[in-house]
Amino acid sequence: MIYLDNSATTKPYDEVLHAFSQVATRFFANPSSLHSLGAEAEKVLTQARRQTAALLGAEESEVIFTSGGTEGNNLAVKGSALARKHHGKHIITSKIEHPSVLESIKQLKEHFDFDVTYLQPDEYGMITIEKVEEAIRPDTILVSIMHINNEVGTIQPIEQIGEMLASYPKIAFHVDAVQGAGKVPLPLKHIDLCTISGHKFHGLKGCGALYMKKGVKLLPMLSGGEQEMQARSGTESAALAASMAKALRMSTERYKSNREKMNRQKHFLLNGLANMDTVQINTPAGQSAGHIINFSVPGTEAEVLLRMLEQEEIYVSTTSACSSKRKRSSTVLLAMGKSGSVASSSIRVSLSYDTEDKDLERFLAVLEASVKKLVKLAR
């Protein structure tokens, strides 16, 4: 089996599964309970928060555990916008954000009368600093721009955008860093809210974290016992938090020793794809992450090609996992100015630190044969 769909989810590390099992078995009590078992569970939770904060470059009190990227993005976008609405009701985002951001903003627009500016990316999927600054108005209270695009891998100039927004104290800056955590470092200096999700870096599904800079206010989306610094109610899972902290530590360490390998593999794939006449590469070779490669075969159906690869036990995806079952054309590629034919035939390949060179050689060989067969049938 060759698994090349790591941007959808990653295989949990064995050490992560072991950590979860150990903590879930031994420290099963409610961390909010006053007895000694609860206190032990709370210590594990605190240690996981401390480790996660250190790896992100944050303070312990700035880390809120969530159920994953979708909840984190909903809490950051809706929570910060509703908490700041007395300052204004204008939001800036881009047309290529993850659905959990775009749908959250859509709700704010339709049900709470917020006004939204959707920034257009350039042909490489980039949102420029100039476009963000041009869109700022006196009533702007939130900017939400993702770190790495989940479909084409473009890395946005987050640090520079953050530095610019530092001159606008009434504007909260949210970054969806789900695709970058453990793979592409991101300093949090000028970021107010930042989302990560454990299953994207070999943790377990059901656990994520939201960085919330000290002093930033949120309206909680879940009411109850006021856990997680009163921002996210619900009984915490010490086991999930501990296993995610372990996954983040392991992935961060593996980044240091594997980033050159991943970048080399990316360019190996790009060169191989470039040698196929009917393939169009959508991922920019320059300012893009090492683990995401997007391409199209215009005139063919992406799902058919995906199934052909699957028959050879090679697993890739079409668009993002959250949108692929809808059988829609890639809205990201359409926003980048690509044709409908390109957008409807796109395939995403996403690597992990465990991807081997021989896997990619096999993938390119099977892909080339499959594409030739599809193109021949289409004539």
List pLDDT tens digits, range 348-363. Answer: 999 999 999 999 999 9
54, 222, 322, 334: the catalytic one is 322
**Average pLDDT of every residue of the chain:** 95
Residue corresponding to tokens 């490489």? 124
The answer on 268 and 356 residing in a single domain is yes
The answer on 276 and 163 residing in a single domain is no
Name the burial class of residue 162, with classes exposed (0-12), middle (13-18) and buried (19+) by CB atoms within 10 angstroms of its CB. buried
Residues spanned by the domain of 71: 14-249
Q: Which tokens is 147 given?
A: 């770190």
The answer on 115 and 235 residing in a single domain is yes
Q: Which of 249, 281, 297 represents a domain boundary (last residue)?
A: 249
- What whole-number percentage of the chain has pLDDT above 70? 97
**Better pLDDT: 25 or 321:** 25
The Cβ of residue 238 has, within 10 Å, a number of other Cβ atoms equal to 27
Name the burial class of residue 286, with classes exposed (0-12), middle (13-18) and buried (19+) by CB atoms within 10 angstroms of its CB. exposed
The answer on 264 and 242 residing in a single domain is no
The answer on 215 and 188 residing in a single domain is yes
Number of separate domains in the chain: 2
Residue 358: strand, helix, or coil: helix
Residue 63: strand, helix, or coil: strand
The answer on 192 and 173 residing in a single domain is yes
The answer on 164 and 28 residing in a single domain is yes
> What is the predicted pLDDT for the residue at 374?
87
- The alpha carbon dihedral of 114, 79, 96, 185 has a sign of positive
Q: Which of 249, 284, 312 represents a domain boundary (last residue)?
A: 249
The answer on 367 and 313 residing in a single domain is yes
Alpha-carbon span 344 to 307, nearest angstrom: 15
The domain spanning residue 317 has which CATH number? 3.90.1150.10
Q: Which of 222, 249, 276 represents a domain boundary (last residue)?
A: 249
Q: How confident is the model at residue 378 (pLDDT cuts 50, 70, 90)?
A: low
Q: How confident is the model at residue 228 (pLDDT cuts 50, 70, 90)?
A: confident
> What is the predicted pLDDT for the residue at 82?
98
Integer CA distances (angstroms), 371 to 72, 268, 293, in order: 39, 18, 17
By the 8 A CB rule, do 202 and 222 touch?
Answer: no
Q: How confident is the model at residue 225 (pLDDT cuts 50, 70, 90)?
A: confident
> Does residue 322 carry a catalytic annotation?
yes
Q: How many CA atoms lie within 13 A of 81 on its CB side?
A: 30
What are 154's strand-pairing partners?
A: 288
The answer on 189 and 326 residing in a single domain is no
> What is the predicted pLDDT for the residue at 322?
55
The answer on 269 and 214 residing in a single domain is no
The domain spanning residue 233 has which CATH number? 3.40.640.10
Alpha-carbon span 175 to 321, nearest angstrom: 20
- For the question of whether the overall pTM of this predicted structure is more than 0.85, the answer is yes
The answer on 291 and 174 residing in a single domain is no
Strand bridging mode 292-296 / 280-281: antiparallel
The answer on 123 and 51 residing in a single domain is yes
